[in-house]
Structure 1
Amino acid sequence: MRAFDIIAASLRSGHAHPTTVLNTLIEAENEGGLRAIRQIERHLSVGLRALQDRQHPQSPLAQAWLNATRAYLVTQAERRHAV
């Protein structure tokens, strides 16, 4: 999945533009639906724990990606419920 490559590159570089984060999540949803977003959330959650265990300097950025992914899922769920 392309989203994983984008997230990995972001973590390697140490930054992520909010537009890039949102576009990545939109593209992932377009490719695989909300199931793809939930898959990203699971991978980020597991990866974040590993980074935190090692006290990796990119842990806060991984946390930001995870928070954005969760917010996206909540927003999409609310949008679908409202319709």
Structure 2
Amino acid sequence: MNISEIVWKSVGRGAVHPSEVLNVLIELDNRKGQIGLWALENELRAKIPLLRPTAQPLAKAWLEATIQYRMTYYPEGRLSRLFNRFSQPERESFPLAS
């Protein structure tokens, strides 16, 4: 089963354990690195608006966890932050998961 399937199955179930989230992100990082993390972020961003309202909070939590994981292990330099600001569409701000 690929990483995307694991994420979407947990969203469909409506629950996920925090250790499962961390294990999935570590596995994705080990398999595909930063590019894989970005791909999962983009997939989540694109599909969150299409989900039913009850599934959106968990999908947003996955997105926030993915962003935080990537930012922790792959900090961005000033130049890449500037480039990202101009090259990507306006991002919706998600509150930190608690």
Unaligned runs of 5+ in 2: 78-98
TM-score, structure 2 normalization: 0.72
Number of matched residues? 77
Residue 37 (structure 2) pairs with residue 40 (structure 1): no
Aligned equivalent of 2:22: 22
Residue 43 (structure 2) pairs with residue 63 (structure 1): no
1:45 shift after superposition? 0.6
Instruction: Name which structure has the greater RCO, CA cutoff 8 Å, separation 6+.
Output: 1
TM-score, structure 1 normalization: 0.84
- Preserved CA contact (<8 Å) 2:48 2:56: yes
* Equivalent residue letter for 1:17: H
SS of corresponding position for 1:15: coil
Aligned CA RMSD, in angstroms, stands at: 1.7
1:19 shift after superposition? 0.5
| Runs of 4+, deviation exceeding 2 Å | none
Indicate the percent of aligned positions where both proteins have the same amino acid.
35
Larger Rg: 2
1:70 shift after superposition? 0.4
1:12 shift after superposition? 1.1
Greater helix fraction, Structure 1 or Structure 2: 1
Unaligned runs of 5+ in 1: none
Residue 13 (structure 2) pairs with residue 13 (structure 1): yes
SS of corresponding position for 1:29: helix
Task: Give the whole-Å Cα distance in 2 for the aligned partners of 1:49 and 1:26.
Answer: 26
